[in-house]
Chain A
Amino acid sequence: MINKFKNSIGYTSEIGRILLISNGVLLMLMVIAVFLSFQTSNYLNVVFLGLALVIMSTSQWFLLSFRLTVIKYFEEKIDVTHDKLNHIFQCIAVQIESPDSVVNPSSLAKEVEIFTRELSKSLTECSITLTNQMQALSIALDNQENERLQKIQDDLLPLIKNLSDAMTAYFNISDRIDETLRKQVTEMQAMILRLEPEVLDLSNRLASMQELPLFPVSLRQLDQVVAINLELDKNIYEQFQVIEYDTNNNALDLVSSMETLNHSANNLVNYITSTITTVSDMNGGVNDSVDFIVRIGHVIQEIPQKIRSDISQLQGATGVIEGLGYLVDSIKEISFQTDILAVNAAIQAAHAGDKGLGFKIVADEVRKLAVNSNHAAEMIETGLNDARKTIQEGLKFKFLEEVMVEMDEAANVLESVQKLEQNHLDMQQYYKTLFMVINQNNIKLSQDISEILGGIQYQDIVRQRIERMKYTMHSRNELLERFIQELSNTRGLLTDDFVSQMNNVLSDYLDMEAAHSNSMHVDENLPQFELF
């Protein structure tokens, strides 16, 4: 409401409006002055114009000053009212809602509520009226209706009086609230003073009861023993949770590691299997090269023997041919002697005349035989020479041919050796790759297996934990049995300090657990197989 009021009578807009109106009036006066001067041609009009300007300026200044004073006055009043209202409600809230209040606030609250509601109502009314009046005042100022302005100002005075009355009423209420509260506090203090001796008496009686070793003492022990048991169970439960968490994770890790291991192993097996064919092919190539070289080696080994054999055969054939040559010479000699004999026989036949005609025929035939024999011997000689030549040349050709073939093959040995060397390099590279890959995979497999072993090893840690729990539970149960037995036997008159004994069981267990690292915070620098 206050904000609305302030907005409705903003200073800037009001001043602007007043100045605008003033300017309008001045313009009108100027027009009149100019018109009159034009009509009368008299300087008196100028004086009239100046006078009018002075009057207008004074009136404008007065109006503006009055307007600002009134606005300031109402603003202050509204702010004071607003602050007072806030103060009222804050006081009421503090007194009613204070948690330290020992006084029953119901009647006080009701009283406060009634007065506050009335006050709020009257203040609201005042405020609404004030707003309306201020709006009316603003309109009046705009219209420069002095009479209405005066009337509104007169109306405002009783309203301000009403507001003042309301404030007074509030202060009265506040005083009454304070008075009531003080009264209640005084009553409470008196009550406490009355109760104090009774409380002291009760306290003394309780103290005297604690000194007696009666059933209540056992109950207290029982209470504490149960509390320690609960603490122990809580610790064991936490350990079970840790074990459950770790075992679950461990199982998942194990499965994952086993899958990885299986995958790696399968890959390696496939890899090695696929390499067998290649190795076999490479071995085949090497074996072919080696067989060829061995064969060529044998051939080269046989060459000298073959040469020797061929030379021997040649020598034998030449000997035979030479022997045949002697026979040809013998035939030639026989032929020559036969010819001479035939000539002599012809001479003797000629000496014998007609009686020697038959003998002459024989001599001629013998001579023909000699000539033919000689001719045959020459032919044999020629044939033998041709044969010897042919044998020699034939042997020579065969030897060279064989040697050439063998030499050609020997020349291929170099190529085979080169192939063998390449095969060797390939195999070297191949096996190097193979072994490196297998070695790296073996390292990886070894790591995987180590992880799996670590996971399996964790089961031993779990076993140790469970053993510690088992031991503790056993100790606890023994103590509880003894406790119950003694409660029964002594009818509550306990002689042992079971609380401290139970505390020992708990602290022993906590010490044992603290001595072993928690798996959730395992130090990674520790060796992995320390327990094995």
Chain B
Amino acid sequence: MAKILVIDDEEQLRDLLKQMLTRDGHEVQTAYDGVEGIRCFNNFHPDIVITDIIMPNKDGIEVITELLCRDSKIAIIAISGGRRAITAEFNLESAELLGVKGILSKPFTREQLRETIQLALV
């Protein structure tokens, strides 16, 4: 089982993800935005980072760029539902181009999440 950091400004989804992942046996920590996410990463040293893209203060693209600049082998899964004109597809395509290990378009199922985590851990 892995150590997972969830970064999402949507509290409901953040809690739901934590609940699902903990039930699957993972050790989970959560963060509200990119700034808190990076701070949490430094202390928690997770195996996988699951991050939303559009967030206040520091968005997911910035988080992904910063973490991958530190170590290109960090396993990151980008999740996004888009916002108005900015589509989830655009956000996830951007994250994929930056080098994340997996992408999930909101809403996603528990099975999709498990499968993406499995692939990211390989």
Is B97 within 8 A of A437, CB to CB? yes
| Closest Cβ–Cβ distance, residue A431 to chain B (whole Å) | 10
A278 and B85 contacting across the interface, CB-CB below 8 Å? yes
Q: Is the interface of B mostly helix, strand, loop or mixed?
A: helix
Say how far B97's CB is from chain A's closest CB, in angstroms: 5
Residues of the B chain whose Cβ atoms lie less than 8 Å from the Cβ of A427: 85
Task: Pick out which of these stretches binds chain B: A41-49, A53-61, A267-275, A359-367.
Answer: A267-275
Q: Is the CB of B90 within 8 A of A275?
A: yes
One of B2-10, B14-22, B37-45, B59-67 contacting the partner: B59-67
A429 touches B54 (CB 8 A): yes
Residue of B whose beta carbon sits closest to that of A286: B85
Return chain B residues, CB-CB under 8 Å to A250. Answer: none
Q: Which of B65, B85, B91, B93 contacts A282 (CB 8 A)?
A: B85
Instruction: Tell me, yes or no, whether A230 is within 8 Å of chain B by CB.
Output: no
Beyond A274-B90, A432-B61, A433-B91, whether A267 also contacts B97 by CB under 8 A is yes
Q: Which of B73-107 touch A at CB < 8 Å?
A: 83-87, 90-91, 93-94, 97-98
Check B90–A268 contact: CB distance below 8 A: no
Q: Are A271 and B62 neighbours in the complex by a CB distance under 8 Å? A: no
* Interface presence of A422 (CB below 8 A): yes
Q: How many residues of B contact A (CB 8 A)?
A: 18
Q: Does A441 contact B (CB under 8 A)?
A: yes
Q: Are A429 and B86 in contact (CB under 8 A)?
A: yes
Bound together, the chains give a CA A432 to CA B87 distance in angstroms of 14
Contact status B61-A423, CB under 8 Å = no
Residues of A with C-beta under 8 A to B59: 429, 432-433
The distance in angstroms between the C-alpha atoms of A285 and B62, with both chains bound, is: 26
Docked CA distance A268–B99 (Å): 13
A199 at the interface (CB under 8 A from B): no
Number of A-B contacts (CB under 8 A): 53
CB contacts under 8 Å to B, within A235-285, are: 267-268, 271, 274-275, 278, 281-282, 285
Tell me which residues across on chain B come within 8 A of A285, comparing CB atoms. Answer: 85
| CB <8 Å contact, B85 and A437 | no
Contacts of A423 in B (CB 8 A): 85
Contacts of A275 in B (CB 8 A): 90
A432 proximity list for chain B (CB < 8 A)? 59, 61
Q: Does A430 contact B (CB under 8 A)?
A: yes
| CB-based nearest B residue for A419 | B84
Is B84 a contact partner of A437 (Cβ separation < 8 A)? no
Q: What residues of B have a CB within 8 angstroms of the CB of A433 in the complex?
A: 53, 59, 61, 86, 90-91, 94
Residue in A271, A422, A440 whose CB lies within 8 Å of B65: A440
Which of A271, A282, A437 has most chain B Cβ within 10 Å? A437
Determine the residue in chain A with the shortest Cβ distance to B84: A426
CB–CB B98/A440 < 8 A:
yes
A379 part of interface (Cβ distance < 8 Å)? no
Q: Give the shortest distance, in Å, between B80 (CB) and chain A (any CB).
A: 10
For window 18-59 of B, CB contacts with A under 8 Å fall at: 53-54, 59
Residues on A with C-beta less than 8 A from B87 are: 278
Shortest B57–chain A CB gap in Å is 13
CA distance A267 to B90 in the complex (A): 13
CA distance A55 to B95 in the complex (A): 109
Instruction: Determine whether the beta carbon of B93 is less than 8 Å from that of A426.
Output: no
Q: B61 to A426, Cβ gap below 8 A?
A: no
Query: What residues on B are CB-neighbors of A27 within 8 Å?
Result: none
21 A-B residue pairs with Cβ-Cβ distance under 8 Å, sorted by A, are: A267-B97, A274-B90, A278-B86, A278-B87, A278-B90, A281-B85, A423-B85, A426-B86, A429-B86, A430-B86, A432-B59, A433-B53, A433-B61, A433-B90, A433-B94, A434-B94, A436-B65, A437-B61, A437-B97, A440-B68, A440-B97
Closest 5 CB pairs of A and B: A282-B85, A437-B94, A426-B85, A433-B61, A433-B94
19 new A-B pairs (CB below 8 Å) besides A429-B83, A441-B97? A267-B97, A271-B97, A275-B90, A278-B85, A278-B90, A281-B85, A426-B84, A426-B85, A427-B85, A429-B54, A432-B61, A433-B94, A436-B61, A436-B62, A436-B94, A437-B94, A437-B97, A437-B98, A440-B98
